[in-house]
Amino acid sequence: MSHVSMSHISNIYRLGVKELWSLIRDPTMLILIIYSFTAAIYIAATAMPDSLHKAAIAIVDEDQSPLSQRIVSAFYPPHFNTPSMISLAEVDPGMDAGRFTFALDIPPNFQRDVLAGRSPSIQLNVDATRMTQAFTGNGYIQQIALDEVNTFVLRYRNTAPPPIDLALRARFNPALTPAWFGSLMEIINQVTMLSIILAGAALIREREHGTIEHLLVMPVTPGEIMLSKVWSMGLVVLLATAISLAVIVQGALRVPIEGSVMLFLFCAALHLFATTSIGIFLATLARSMPQFGLLMVLTLIPLQMLSGGTTPRESMPVFVQTVMLAAPTTHFVASAQAILYRGAGLEVVWPRFLALIAIGSVFFIVALARFRKTIGTMA
């Protein structure tokens, strides 16, 4: 390796500027970037409904008492659909066909037994194949139904409230608004996806147009070519991220950001170093744009789904958790969550940053080696 001199730096700079020009004159890519950082984020943030939204519930009222009527009328939108009143025989077919997720069965003589202190029980059937609603819904229904029973009972006898209270507070997102989470995680996904696409496509475009050949006969080294693509495409994504964060997330979606945006962008830059290298690596494996697209599908989905940005890392098998420590997205998601939601500073996230630098360097070196090796067959 030759030492870094002025001409290296100026070549890297010039070639990078050239990439930016190419991008400006490529309307498809521009539209893709703009869409990914505006509409896609807005949609992802707002499309995510609250965890219990219009849940389908059916009630079998075998009691037909004032108390059972009270319970029925306690379920209403937006958390629940207006309950459909069914007979006991309709419970199984309805649940089988997936017409409702919850079926509440109020037994005969329920009110009488309650007042007699016999503590009767209501049966709640939950379609547990609908994971997202099953668990939370169960909690809500229990609480709603029992509240009704208790208020009803209070009119007739006086019992002491439980002496120990639990004060539950959610930190960092007090109302647990899904948009706060959805919008920022979507930005993170877009950063990963676009940087891989842009860097990889920049190389494949050069090959398809035959310009890579041209570059390689000039006094320019493969390392310079690669670095120029890393910095230029990384910069584009970083700028788009910053703008989207300010305009879409903080502006249109009104999501408060607790931590330092600058620290987050620094973290994104480290992440981009790794992902642009991955993009270039994939581009050296693929022989054409379509092949690159297929490879990307296979790479991007695990990078995004197993990073901890979609579902909590704790719930993945240990093996998956360990393997994913080698993926830059895992560390990016973790530090981004820490910085943006919890306002963590450098003193908290620095180990993640070190991991990102290490992973980025490894990917860069591997991609460069592979790039050097394949330029013969590319030209």
Considering only 73, 82, 121, 361, the residue that binds other proteins (CB under 8 A) is 121
In one-letter notation, the amino acid at residue 184 is: L
Tell which residue, 328, 324, 353, has the closest CA to residue 338. 353
Considering only 64, 82, 311, 322, the residue that binds other proteins (CB under 8 A) is 311
Considering only 124, 265, 357, 358, the residue that binds other proteins (CB under 8 A) is 124
DSSP state of 83: P
Considering only 88, 93, 262, 354, the residue that binds other proteins (CB under 8 A) is 93
Binding letters toward other proteins, positions 330-369, x by CB under 8 A: ----x--xx--xxxx---xx--------------------
Q: To the nearest whole angstrom, how small is the minimum distance from the Cβ of residue 342 to other proteins?
A: 4
Per-residue b/e over 331-358, b at no fewer than 16 CB within 10 Å? bbbbbbbbbbbeebeeeebeebbebbee
Distance, C-alpha 215 to centroid of its chain: 39
Q: Binding segment for other proteins among 244-252, 260-268, 308-316, 356-364 (CB under 8 A)?
A: 308-316
Contact between 155 and 114 under an 8 Å Cβ cutoff? The reply is: no
Residue 27 sits in the site that holds other proteins (CB under 8 A): no
- Tell me how far apart the alpha carbons of residues 278 and 191 are, in angstroms, rounded to a whole number: 13
Q: To the nearest whole angstrom, how small is the minimum distance from the Cβ of residue 8 to other proteins?
A: 10
- Tell me how far apart the alpha carbons of residues 66 and 343 are, in angstroms, rounded to a whole number: 51
Q: To the nearest whole angstrom, how small is the minimum distance from the Cβ of residue 311 to other proteins?
A: 5
Residue 261 sits in the site that holds other proteins (CB under 8 A): no
Nearer to other proteins, 46 or 252 (CB): 46
- Tell me how far apart the alpha carbons of residues 277 and 202 are, in angstroms, rounded to a whole number: 12
Copy the structure tokens of residue 114: 């309650």
Considering only 265, 295, 357, 366, the residue that binds other proteins (CB under 8 A) is 295
Tell which residue, 35, 378, 338, has the closest CA to residue 204. 378
Q: To the nearest whole angstrom, how small is the minimum distance from the Cβ of residue 258 to other proteins?
A: 9
Residue 110 φ then ψ, to 5°: -65, -50
Residue 267 sits in the site that holds other proteins (CB under 8 A): no
Alpha-carbon torsion 139, 140, 145, 148, what sign?
positive
Tell which residue, 127, 160, 203, 247, has the closest CA to residue 367. 203
Residue 322 sits in the site that holds other proteins (CB under 8 A): no
Considering only 37, 42, 75, 181, the residue that binds other proteins (CB under 8 A) is 181
Considering only 33, 193, 286, 367, the residue that binds other proteins (CB under 8 A) is 286
Contact between 249 and 255 under an 8 Å Cβ cutoff? The reply is: yes
Considering only 30, 31, 210, 254, the residue that binds other proteins (CB under 8 A) is 210
Burial of 278 from C-beta contacts in 10 A (0-12 / 13-18 / 19+): buried
Residue 134 sits in the site that holds other proteins (CB under 8 A): yes
Considering only 145, 233, 327, 356, the residue that binds other proteins (CB under 8 A) is 145
Binding residues among 47-76 for other proteins as defined by CB under 8 A: 47, 49, 51, 53-56
